[in-house]
Amino acid sequence: MSYLTLKYMQLALSLDNFGSIHLHGFVRVLSVQLQNSLHCPSDVLIIYRYILYTFFFIIIVFSYGIEWFIEMIF
């Protein structure tokens, strides 16, 4: 990965004023890196993004707890 990509990943994972992770930017960088390394078409890139979003969603839910997630919904 290039230096600029690593810096963007660091920025994407930084916390904002509300303490939330910029997950969209991080997933975008990871999916573009996957596309570049695997030389896949852009249609597959969309599938990678949904897989990465699901993966990070599961991590966030289990790190904060199921009760936190239920409170956020209702």
Pair 27, 57: CB distance under 8 Å: no
User: Could you report the per-residue pLDDT of 36-52, keeping only the tens digit for each?
Assistant: 777 767 777 777 777 77
Judge whether residue 2 has pLDDT over 70.
no
Pair 24, 50: CB distance under 8 Å: no
pLDDT bucket at 31, cuts 50 / 70 / 90: confident
Domain extents in the chain: 3-73
pLDDT bucket at 32, cuts 50 / 70 / 90: confident
Output the pLDDT for position 11.
58
- In whole numbers, what is the pLDDT of the chain averaged over residues? 68
Output the pLDDT for position 66.
72
Q: In the numeric block, which tokens belong to residue 37? A: 């390394």
